[in-house]
Chain A
Amino acid sequence: MAKVVLTSASKNFVDNDIRDAVSRSFDLLGYNYPKKVDTVVLKPNLCYYWDYSTGETTDPRVISVIIDYLRAKFGENVSIFVAEADATAMKTKYSFKLLGYEKLSQAKNVELLNLSEGEIVEKQVSIRNNTITLPVNKMLLESDLVINVPKLRTHNLVGMTCSLKNMFGAISKPRKFSYHKNLDAIIVAINKLVKSDICIVDGLIARGKYPKKMGLILAGDDALATDFVVAKILGFNPRAIGHLKLAEKENVGDVNNTELIEDKTSLKEAKKLFPGSSFLLHRLSWGLQLKLLDVYLKLSGDVSPPFLKA
Chain B
Amino acid sequence: MLRVGVIGLGKMGQLHFLNALHMKDVKLVAIADKSKRNRNVAESYHIKAYDDYTKLIDSEELDVAIISLPNFLKEESIVYAAEKSLDVFVDKPLARNLAEATRIAEKVKKQGVRLMTGVNYRYFDSVQRLKDMLDEGRVGDVVIATADLILNGPLGHGRVPTPVPEWWLSKEKAGGGALLDLGYHLIDLMNWMFGDLHVEYSSLGYRFQLPVEDGAMVVLRSGKSKVNCCVNAGWFSKSIFPDFNFRVNLHGTVGYKSTDNFAPKNLRLHAIKAASCNLLRKATGRKMKYLSYTYYYHSFFKILELFFDAIQKDTELPISLKEEIDVIKIIDDVYKRNGADLNG
Additional A-B contacts beyond A51-B207, A87-B161, A303-B297 (19; CB < 8 A): A49-B152, A49-B155, A49-B164, A51-B236, A94-B164, A97-B208, A177-B161, A289-B268, A296-B275, A300-B275, A300-B279, A300-B282, A300-B288, A301-B22, A301-B282, A302-B288, A305-B15, A306-B15, A309-B158
- In order of increasing CB-CB distance, the 4 nearest A-B pairs are A307-B158, A89-B161, A306-B14, A98-B208
Does A17 lie at the interface of the complex (its beta carbon under 8 Å from any beta carbon of B)? no
| Partner among B15, B208, B282 whose Cβ is within 8 Å of the Cβ of A49 | B208
Does A103 lie at the interface of the complex (its beta carbon under 8 Å from any beta carbon of B)? yes
> Would you call A97 and B301 a contact (CB within 8 A)?
no
Contact indicator per residue, chain B 151-169, by CB within 8 Å of chain A (1) or not (0): 0100101111111100001
User: When A and B form their complex, what is the total count of cross-chain residue pairs whose Cβ atoms lie within 8 Å?
Assistant: 92
Does A14 lie at the interface of the complex (its beta carbon under 8 Å from any beta carbon of B)? no
> Would you call B209 and A98 a contact (CB within 8 A)?
yes
Q: How many residues of B contact A (CB 8 A)?
A: 36
> Would you call B209 and A296 a contact (CB within 8 A)?
no
Q: Chain B at the A interface: mostly helix, strand, loop or mixed?
A: loop
Does B319 lie at the interface of the complex (its beta carbon under 8 Å from any beta carbon of A)? no
Instruction: Look across to chain B and name the residue whose beta carbon is closest to the beta carbon of A56.
Output: B238
Instruction: Look across to chain A and name the residue whose beta carbon is closest to the beta carbon of B300.
Output: A305
Q: How far is the CB of A45 from chain B (nearest CB, A)?
A: 15
> Would you call B238 and A308 a contact (CB within 8 A)?
no
B278 to chain A: which residues have CB within 8 Å?
A: 300, 302
Instruction: Look across to chain A and name the residue whose beta carbon is closest to the beta carbon of B294.
Output: A305
Does A54 lie at the interface of the complex (its beta carbon under 8 Å from any beta carbon of B)? yes
A102 to B210, CA, bound (A): 11
B161 to chain A: which residues have CB within 8 Å?
A: 48, 87-90, 177
Does A72 lie at the interface of the complex (its beta carbon under 8 Å from any beta carbon of B)? no
Instruction: Look across to chain A and name the residue whose beta carbon is closest to the beta carbon of B282.
Output: A300
A88 to B162, CA, bound (A): 6
A302 to B157, CA, bound (A): 22
Does B291 lie at the interface of the complex (its beta carbon under 8 Å from any beta carbon of A)? yes
Does B273 lie at the interface of the complex (its beta carbon under 8 Å from any beta carbon of A)? no
Does B73 lie at the interface of the complex (its beta carbon under 8 Å from any beta carbon of A)? no
| Given A89-B163, A97-B209, A98-B209, A305 contacting B291 (CB threshold 8 A) | yes
Residues of A91-148 contacting chain B, CB below 8 A: 91, 94, 97-100, 102-103
Residues of B145-203 contacting chain A, CB below 8 A: 152, 155, 157-164, 169
A308 to chain B: which residues have CB within 8 Å?
A: 158-159, 241
A305 to B290, CA, bound (A): 11
Does B342 lie at the interface of the complex (its beta carbon under 8 Å from any beta carbon of A)? no
Does A304 lie at the interface of the complex (its beta carbon under 8 Å from any beta carbon of B)? yes
> Would you call B11 and A303 a contact (CB within 8 A)?
no
Residues of B258-315 contacting chain A, CB below 8 A: 268, 275, 278-279, 282, 288, 290-291, 293-294, 297, 301
Q: How far is the CB of B81 from chain A (nearest CB, A)?
A: 23
> Would you call A91 and B163 a contact (CB within 8 A)?
yes
B155 to chain A: which residues have CB within 8 Å?
A: 49, 98
> Would you call A309 and B159 a contact (CB within 8 A)?
yes
A50 to B18, CA, bound (A): 31
Q: How far is the CB of A264 from chain B (nearest CB, A)?
A: 30
| Partner among B162, B163, B279, B291 whose Cβ is within 8 Å of the Cβ of A299 | B279
Does B19 lie at the interface of the complex (its beta carbon under 8 Å from any beta carbon of A)? yes
Q: How far is the CB of B161 from chain A (nearest CB, A)?
A: 3
A49 to chain B: which residues have CB within 8 Å?
A: 152, 155, 164, 208
Q: How far is the CB of B54 from chain A (nearest CB, A)?
A: 25
> Would you call A302 and B158 a contact (CB within 8 A)?
no
| Partner among A54, A100, A296 whose Cβ is within 8 Å of the Cβ of B279 | A296
Instruction: Look across to chain B and name the residue whose beta carbon is closest to the beta carbon of A98.
Output: B208
A88 to chain B: which residues have CB within 8 Å?
A: 161-163
Does A310 lie at the interface of the complex (its beta carbon under 8 Å from any beta carbon of B)? yes
> Would you call A306 and B22 a contact (CB within 8 A)?
no
> Would you call B291 and A309 a contact (CB within 8 A)?
no
> Would you call A307 and B209 a contact (CB within 8 A)?
no
- 16 A-B pairs within 8 Å (CB atoms) are namely A48-B157, A49-B208, A88-B163, A94-B169, A98-B208, A299-B279, A299-B282, A301-B282, A302-B278, A303-B18, A305-B15, A305-B294, A307-B159, A308-B158, A308-B159, A309-B160
> Would you call B160 and A177 a contact (CB within 8 A)?
yes
Among A48, A89, A99, the one with the most B-chain Cβ atoms within 10 Å of its Cβ is: A89
> Would you call A310 and B159 a contact (CB within 8 A)?
yes
A51 to chain B: which residues have CB within 8 Å?
A: 207-208, 236, 238
Instruction: Look across to chain A and name the residue whose beta carbon is closest to the beta carbon of B13.
Output: A306
Q: How far is the CB of A298 from chain B (nearest CB, A)?
A: 11
A100 to chain B: which residues have CB within 8 Å?
A: 209
Q: How far is the CB of A173 from chain B (nearest CB, A)?
A: 14
A48 to B161, CA, bound (A): 10
A97 to B207, CA, bound (A): 10
A289 to chain B: which residues have CB within 8 Å?
A: 268
Contact indicator per residue, chain A 272-284, by CB within 8 Å of chain B (1) or not (0): 0000000000000
A306 to chain B: which residues have CB within 8 Å?
A: 11, 14-15, 18, 158
B301 to chain A: which residues have CB within 8 Å?
A: 303
A99 to B14, CA, bound (A): 31
A97 to B76, CA, bound (A): 32
B15 to chain A: which residues have CB within 8 Å?
A: 303, 305-306
B241 to chain A: which residues have CB within 8 Å?
A: 307-308
> Would you call B14 and A296 a contact (CB within 8 A)?
no
A303 to B304, CA, bound (A): 14
A56 to B278, CA, bound (A): 38
Contact indicator per residue, chain A 288-299, by CB within 8 Å of chain B (1) or not (0): 010000001001
Among B18, B160, B207, B236, the one with the most A-chain Cβ atoms within 10 Å of its Cβ is: B160
> Would you call B293 and A302 a contact (CB within 8 A)?
yes
Q: How far is the CB of B112 from chain A (nearest CB, A)?
A: 33
| Given A97-B208, A300-B282, A89 contacting B291 (CB threshold 8 A) | no
A94 to B169, CA, bound (A): 9
B297 to chain A: which residues have CB within 8 Å?
A: 303, 305
